[in-house]
Structure 1
Amino acid sequence: MPINIPKHLPAGELLKEEKIFIMDEERATTQDIRPINILILNLMPEKEKTELQLLRLLGNTPLQVNVTFLNTASYVSKNVSQTHLETFYTTFEHVKNRRFDGMIITGAPIELLQFEDVVYWKELEEIMEWTKTNVTSVLHICWGAQAALYHHYGIDKFELTKKCFGVFSHDITDPTVNLARGFNDVFVAPHSRHTGVSLEEIKSHPDLTLLSASEEAGAFIVISNDAKHIMVTGHLEYDAHTLGDEYARDVEKGADIDIPVNYYPNDDPSKEPMNTWRSHTHLLFSNWLNYYVYQKTPYNWS
């Protein structure tokens, strides 16, 4: 089944080229089924890249998915045109009276700031509180995961001595949990962050379960016991070249940055990196949509 996206969204043509099954809003309204409604709060600076990454994954399920893109009203992104935001995005004020089956809160390159120092923190807190009653399940990614752990469970982040940057091996603690269905016992995933969260605090919290962790990268997938919140501290949604783009950007800025770990063949940046995490990315998103969104959302919210 397809993913339903705005008719002229730029990512649409790229998704078609990749043979991802999509349809525009006009065609979707003629289908007599109950679609899944997903709200995406896109906090990443390069919004169009993130749109493509997430839509590619949401479109690979047997469900029809309606997507609404959300941006903050208290901060306007400098890396995307205002026309793009006005055409394809809305703000919380316009959706707060609606209910959504699922929501994704992305990462943001601001993890070295204290949460309260983030310009849109109060707005994000309001949105996260609203999800308790208006969203069935929320998938939080990277900084979004750290924000959720802090807001909902009081677990703060801490600065790492060295950036966690590369592709790392992870273990699954319980493969019978629906979110991990189909996962290998050991799999790899990308990380790109300057901060971490305490494994001990997560393990000892009565409302949380640590589903996956890495010796090098720490806590990776954390799920609340009521399945309301899923926190993923890395970037399974990244393309093969995303870490390389970030590395090139930092080198150009003159930053003190090492090459991404386990990323380039033979650690040679001149060689083409390969996506070694794609299958688990699709598993994570399809399992989330099926077991935590579709299976749990009432047909009629009222």
Structure 2
Amino acid sequence: MPITLPDTLPAYDVLAREGVMVMPERGAAQQDIRPLRIGLLNLMPKKIQTETQFARLIGATPLQIDFHLIRMSDHETRNTSAEHMEAFYRPFSEVAASGEKFDGLLITGAPIEHLDFEDVTYWDELKQVMDWTQTHVHSTFGICWGGMAMAYHLNGVPKHILDAKAFGCFRHQNKAPASPYLRGFSDDVLMPVSRWTEMREDEMRAAGLKVLIGSDEVGPALVEDAAHRALYVFNHFEYDSDTLKQEYDRDVDAGTPINVPVNYYPEDDPTRAPLNRWRSHAHLLYGNWISEIYLTTPFDIELIGEASTDLRR
């Protein structure tokens, strides 16, 4: 089954060329099934790149996905055209006022990790979003800074500034092979990392959270928050092959001190093209998340926040 996207969204043509099953909204309306409603709260500056990355992953399952793009109500983006934002995004205030519910919500990272959470200009509204997920979203997935924000707001777990940027591709260990979210995962997992902050495993566990994937070098990577029906991933399975290269080249061109990303370029040579060694695990993780939503979300979407039906029981 395909992911449903407006056929004028830039991601539509990109994914269609890659062989991802996409369907225009008019075609989806003719199918007599209930698609999963998945929202993306996009906090990243490069909106089009980010929405394409996540649509690629959640659109690769056998289920029909009804994809919705959401933005913060009063925060103006400077990196994406106003026309694109007006055509494809709705402000959270509008979504909340409508009373509609979602089977899943993705909350992306944002390049503001040097700030205390309370100093972020849209922190108050983001807290409203995270509280709203508890009654209007069946399962929430926080990515990088978005996951740290959720762990902090919902569980009181702080983030910590690193002495140096964790930047590159790092080996991680599968700490919970029986988890349904890690179905099909190897014992050893490579993940792209790009952050100046970290969450600590002992503080996660003390808050009742379960670390599913972690690294001795860069700490916990994937964490389950069962009490809040949430997952937090602090690294970037969704990255394209050249996303770390783009970040590295940007800093080099700007004269910003930056190390060559670890274990990313062949023989650590930035003149050579990087190889994508995380794509399969990226599809596994997001496919498993979609599968868990499908198995546990109520057929009547209005029951989200009130009841759930787990087809495995």
Q: TM-score, normalised by structure 2?
A: 0.94
Match of 1:48 in 2: 48
Match of 1:284 in 2: 285
C-alpha deviation, 1:295, in angstroms: 1.1
C-alpha deviation, 1:227, in angstroms: 6.3
5+ residue gaps, structure 2: 303-313
Q: Secondary structure at the match of 1:44?
A: coil
Q: Does the 8 Å CA contact 2:102/2:138 hold for their aligned counterparts?
A: yes
| CA shift digits 1:197-239 (9 cap, x unpaired) | 1111012222x10111011111100001346110000000001
Mapped partners of 1:133, 1:296: distance in 2: 15
Amino acid in the other structure paired with 1:144: G
C-alpha deviation, 1:7, in angstroms: 2.2
Match of 1:240 in 2: 241
Match of 1:146 in 2: 148
C-alpha deviation, 1:290, in angstroms: 0.5
Q: Does the 8 Å CA contact 1:74/1:119 hold for their aligned counterparts?
A: no
Mapped partners of 2:211, 2:257: distance in 1: 32
Match of 2:127 in 1: 125
5+ residue gaps, structure 1: none
Mapped partners of 1:46, 1:161: distance in 2: 27
Q: Secondary structure at the match of 1:95?
A: helix
1:65 matched to 2:80? The reply is: no
Q: Does the 8 Å CA contact 1:74/1:123 hold for their aligned counterparts?
A: no
Amino acid in the other structure paired with 1:256: P
Match of 1:180 in 2: 182
Match of 1:191 in 2: 193
Mapped partners of 1:227, 1:213: distance in 2: 21
Amino acid in the other structure paired with 1:53: Q
Q: Secondary structure at the match of 2:296?
A: coil
Between 1:189-198 and 1:225-234, the stretch displaced more is 225-234
| CA shift digits 1:23-52 (9 cap, x unpaired) | 010000000001000010001110100111
Match of 2:264 in 1: 263
Q: Tell me how many residue pairs correspond in the alignment.
A: 300
Amino acid in the other structure paired with 2:115: L
1:297 matched to 2:290? The reply is: no
Match of 1:26 in 2: 26
| Aligned ranges 1:82-231 → 2 under 5 Å | 82-96=82-96, 97-206=99-208, 208-226=209-227, 228-231=229-232
Amino acid in the other structure paired with 2:233: V
Match of 1:78 in 2: 78
Mapped partners of 1:84, 1:161: distance in 2: 38
Mapped partners of 1:124, 1:225: distance in 2: 20
Match of 2:309 in 1: none
Mapped partners of 1:18, 1:283: distance in 2: 18
* Runs of 4+ that moved beyond 4 A: none
Mapped partners of 1:290, 1:90: distance in 2: 26
| CA shift digits 1:130-184 (9 cap, x unpaired) | 0001000001100001101100000111110000100000001111110011000
Q: Does the 8 Å CA contact 2:104/2:138 hold for their aligned counterparts?
A: yes
Cα RMSD (Å):
0.9
Mapped partners of 2:90, 2:178: distance in 1: 38
C-alpha deviation, 1:253, in angstroms: 1.6
Q: TM-score, normalised by structure 1?
A: 0.98
Mapped partners of 1:136, 1:295: distance in 2: 11
C-alpha deviation, 1:74, in angstroms: 2.1
Q: Secondary structure at the match of 2:237?
A: coil
